[in-house]
């Protein structure tokens, strides 16, 4: 006899375990066997009422890939910080409360993904959460949000940066941009040869190798712009697209300076460096890093290699960004990614 359903839906089924989708079978002696059918990823990030980023980006993306999202909010905002006006309330106490309650429920996670951290205490709370729930099979992705364009974000003190560095030591994979990689490793961003793509790769790979040797991490270094022969299916030659910019303050020079036309993700894993390129489209939208990280953690939990996960994330983002530019989406709103969730569904397992 085999039954598939939810605990509590059958009056003849009793269990002390929390309600979840289970496979219930009975062996010859009639002893009940319970096996969970749903993969779960705990996502620790902020929640914004407006702006497709953080949890509002992670929940639909990971769900589309067939995995249950268990959200733990670090802050609640009326709108994400790219908007001119917003309300923000931090939820630092939630980390301790959720950790204790979920431990009491005896739950487990196939993946853990941490994003924006408001202060050092939250970063250390995330460490406690990871230590409480990780197993040898748990994938832990840390997105070390620290800065961009060679500059650390003003809201982060040295204390917060040190806490985020400590948090990355508890990950299996991290997704820094080049600025954040430099902050994590104490590398001088200006010393990198940004005008020489081959040399920049060598330097970045060396920094990744040193960090990986110390921590065992895999690294995905995002948003590295450079020249390439890459061709794009998107045509933005019309003048109406020539002044597109995003909430991050990017201007046309970022996209068209000296023929830069590609945006790369550098992959360092198992002692090897490789690069996946995507077309650099003339627009910058909030939340793209959150979408990228969400695809990565879900794909890895579903058994994809990091290279395959990066390719999927790049294809998904290219489609969403290109569509959003054509539709003249307000950049702080984030990309109109919802029509492209079907691209992710074949990777559900």
What is the tens place of the pLDDT at every residue in 175-230? 999 999 999 999 999 999 998 999 999 999 999 999 999 999 999 999 999 888 77
pTM value? 0.86
Residue 10, CA atoms < 13 Å, CB-side half-sphere: 15
> How far from each other are the two terminal CA atoms of the chain, in whole angstroms?
25
Q: What phi and psi, each to the nearest 5 degrees, are found at residue 249?
A: 90, 10
| pLDDT score of 333 | 96
| pLDDT score of 34 | 40
126: tokens are 């995330």
**CA 312 – CA 186 distance, rounded (Å):** 31
| pLDDT score of 244 | 45
- Per DSSP, 259 falls in state G
252: tokens are 């046309």
Strands 68-77 and 40-48: parallel
**CA 308 – CA 298 distance, rounded (Å):** 12
Domain with CATH 3.40.1190.20 in the chain: 38-347
Angstrom CA distances, 339 to 64, 305, 316, 322, 343, stand at 12, 25, 10, 12, 9
For 47-80, write each residue's pLDDT tens digit.
999 999 999 999 999 999 999 999 999 999 999 9
Q: How far is CA 16 from the centre of its chain?
A: 34
Q: Average pLDDT, whole number, for the chain?
A: 86
| pLDDT score of 241 | 55
Identify how many contiguous H helices and E strands the chain contains and give both numbers: 9, 14
Residue 212, CA atoms < 13 Å, CB-side half-sphere: 22
Q: What phi and psi, each to the nearest 5 degrees, are found at residue 254?
A: -60, -35
Q: Which CATH class is domain 38-347?
A: alpha beta
**DSSP structure string for 5-60:** EETTSSTT---SSPS-EEEEEE-TT--EEEEE---EEEEEEEEESSSS-HHHHHHH
Flag residues of the chain having pLDDT under 70: 1-37, 237-259
Residues belonging to the chain: 349
Structural Rg of the chain based on CA atoms? 21
Q: Under DSSP, is residue 330 helix (H, G, I), strand (E, B) or coil?
A: coil
Angstrom CA distances, 129 to 29, 73, 114, 184, stand at 39, 13, 10, 21
Q: Are 101 and 131 in contact (CB under 8 A)?
A: no
Which sign does the torsion angle of CA 26, 133, 118, 222 carry? negative
**Residue 257 CB burial class (10 angstroms; 0-12, 13-18, ≥19):** exposed
**CA 228 – CA 215 distance, rounded (Å):** 32
């Amino acid at each position: 006899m085999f039954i598939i359903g939810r605990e509590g839906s059958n009056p003849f089924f009793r269990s002390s375990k929390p309600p979840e989708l289970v496979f219930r079978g009975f062996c010859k002696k009639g002893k009940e066997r319970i096996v969970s059918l749903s993969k779960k990823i705990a996502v620790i990030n902020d929640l914004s009422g407006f702006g497709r980023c953080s949890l509002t980006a992670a929940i639909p993306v990971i769900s589309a890939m067939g995995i249950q999202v268990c959200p733990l909010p670090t802050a609640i905002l009326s709108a994400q910080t790219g908007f001119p006006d917003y309300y923000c309330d931090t939820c630092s106490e939630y980390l301790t409360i959720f950790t204790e309650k979920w431990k009491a429920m005896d739950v487990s996670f196939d993946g853990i993904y941490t994003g924006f951290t408001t202060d050092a205490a939250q970063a250390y709370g995330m460490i406690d959460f990871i230590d409480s729930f990780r197993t040898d099979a748990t994938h832990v992705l840390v997105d070390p949000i620290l800065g961009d364009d060679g500059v650390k974000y003003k809201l982060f003190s040295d204390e917060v940066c040190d806490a985020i560095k400590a948090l990355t030591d508890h990950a299996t994979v991290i997704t820094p941009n080049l600025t954040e990689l430099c902050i994590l490793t104490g590398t001088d961003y200006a010393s990198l040869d940004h005008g020489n793509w081959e040399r920049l790769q060598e330097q970045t790979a060396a920094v990744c190798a040193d960090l990986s040797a110390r921590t065992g991490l895999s690294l995905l270094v995002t948003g590295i712009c450079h020249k390439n022969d890459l061709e794009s299916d998107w045509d933005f030659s019309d003048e109406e697209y020539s002044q597109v910019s995003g909430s991050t303050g990017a201007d046309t020079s970022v996209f068209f300076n000296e023929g830069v036309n590609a945006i790369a993700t550098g992959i360092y894993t198992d002692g090897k460096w490789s690069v996946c390129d995507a077309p650099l489209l003339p627009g910058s939208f909030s939340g793209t890093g959150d979408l990228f990280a969400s695809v990565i953690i879900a794909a890895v939990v579903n058994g994809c290699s990091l290279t395959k996960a990066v390719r999927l994330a790049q294809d998904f983002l290219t489609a969403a960004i290109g569509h959003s530019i054509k539709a003249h989406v307000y950049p702080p709103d984030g990309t109109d990614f919802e029509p492209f969730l079907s691209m992710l569904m074949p990777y559900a397992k």
